[in-house]
Amino acid sequence: MSIYTPGQVAEETGFSLDTLRYYERIGLLEPIERNSAGQRRFSEEDVGWLGMVRCLRDTGMPIAEMLRFTALVRGGRQTIGERITLLEAHDREVEEQISRLRERQAAIQRKIHHYRDLLTEQADPAPCAEDPAGRAAEAASN
Amino acid sequence: MSIYTPGQVAEETGFSLDTLRYYERIGLLEPIERNSAGQRRFSEEDVGWLGMVRCLRDTGMPIAEMLRFTALVRGGRQTIGERITLLEAHDREVEEQISRLRERQAAIQRKIHHYRDLLTEQADPAPCAEDPAGRAAEAASN
DNA sequence: GCTTGACCTGGAGCCCACTCCAGGTGGCAT
DNA sequence: ATGCCACCTGGAGTGGGCTCCAGGTCAAGC
C-alpha cells in the first residue's frame, strides 16, 4: 500500500500544503501518520478521503457540514443511513445550484445577444442622432 | 415611471438594505436619488440594474469584475464590444462551473448508491462478523 | 405630543476559508 | 561540512463580502 508525502498529496488533490495542515487541525482529516522525523506520510485512504472532501467542497458544502459528515464516517456502519440522508440533501442542493446557474446563464446570453443587436444597429445606415427608441433600449438594458 | 423605497427594492431583489447601501458605497450602483428627507428612492432602471447584478453575483462573478462591467456600462455605446467580450468570458466560466458541478454530482450519487448497497448487504443474512471483504469496501469508500 | 417604524450615516465587526510567517529540524547531494 | 530543500509548529494575517451598531432624522398614526 503506497504512501505519499505532503507534496505529492498537494500535487494530486490540488489542496495546498497549508490547506492540508489546516484540514488536519480542524479535524476534517484524522491525524496523519508521521515518519521518524515527524513529517506526514499520507496513506492511500487519506488521499481517497481527500478526494471526497474535494468533491463536497467543490459543490459548495461548507466546512461545518463536512465536519458533520466526517463525524458520521467515523461513527461506523450504524451511521450509513444518516450519511445517505446528508448526501442526498446535498445532492438536491447541487441540483438546485445547477438549475439556477442555467437560468442565470440564459439571462446572460440574452444580454449578450441584445448587445450584439445594438452593435449591428449601430453599424447600420445610422438612424439619425436623436433616436428616442434607441435610447430607451439602451436604458432598459444598460 | 415608478419609484421604489429601499424596503421594496430589498424585497424585490433579495438584497438586504445593508447590501444595497454597500453596493452604492463601492460604486456598483451609481448614487441613488433621494427624497427631501434624504431617503433613497430607486428608479425602475436601478432595479433593473440590480437584476443584472443579481445575475452576475449568483453566477459567481466577483465584485471587482462587476465593477469593471459597471464602468463599461457607464462608458456608453463605444464599450459595447468590450461588454460582450466580458460577458462571453463569464458565460464560458459559468458553463465550466456547471459541467464541473455535474461531474462532482455524479460522484456523490455513486457514493450514495454505494452506501445503499452497504445497507442492503447489512440487512442480508449477515455474512459473519469477521468479514475482510466488507471491511475493505468500507475502507475504500469511507 | 408621543410612539413607532422606516430610513439615514460612518465606521467597526464578523465569518469563512484559507494563507503566510518566523524560526526550526532532518536528510540528501556536492 | 555545507547547502539546500521539503517539511515542521503555533499563531497571526488576509480577502471577500457583507452585517451590525450607535445615534440620529423625518412622517404618520393614536
Across the 142 residues of chain A, what is the mean pLDDT of every consecutive 10-residue run? 92 97 98 95 97 98 98 97 98 98 98 95 54 44 59
**Count of A–B CB contacts within 8 Å?**
104
Beta bridge partners of B42: B4
Q: So what's the pLDDT on residue A124?
A: 56
Tell me, what amino acid is at B121?
Answer: E
- What is the C-alpha separation between A142 and B45, in angstroms, rounded? 8
Residues in B closer than 8 angstroms to A43, CB to CB, are none
What pTM was computed for the model? 0.87
b/e sequence A41-51, b meaning 16+ C-beta within 10 Å: ebeeebbebbe
Burial of A89 (0-12, 13-18, 19+ CB in 10 A): exposed
pLDDT tens column, B84-122: 999 999 999 999 999 999 999 999 999 999 999 999 875
Q: Are B28 and B63 in contact (CB under 8 A)?
A: yes
Strand ranges, E, within chain B: 3-4, 42-43
Q: So what's the pLDDT on residue B114?
A: 97
Chain B span 36-65 residues with beta carbon within 7 Å of strand D = 36-38, 57, 62-64
User: Which residue, among A98, A5, A122, A118, has the nearest Cα to B96 in the 3D structure?
Assistant: A98
C-beta atoms of A59 and B105 within 8 A: yes
- Grid cell, residue A99, equals 438549475
pLDDT tens column, B57-84: 999 999 999 999 999 999 999 999 999 9
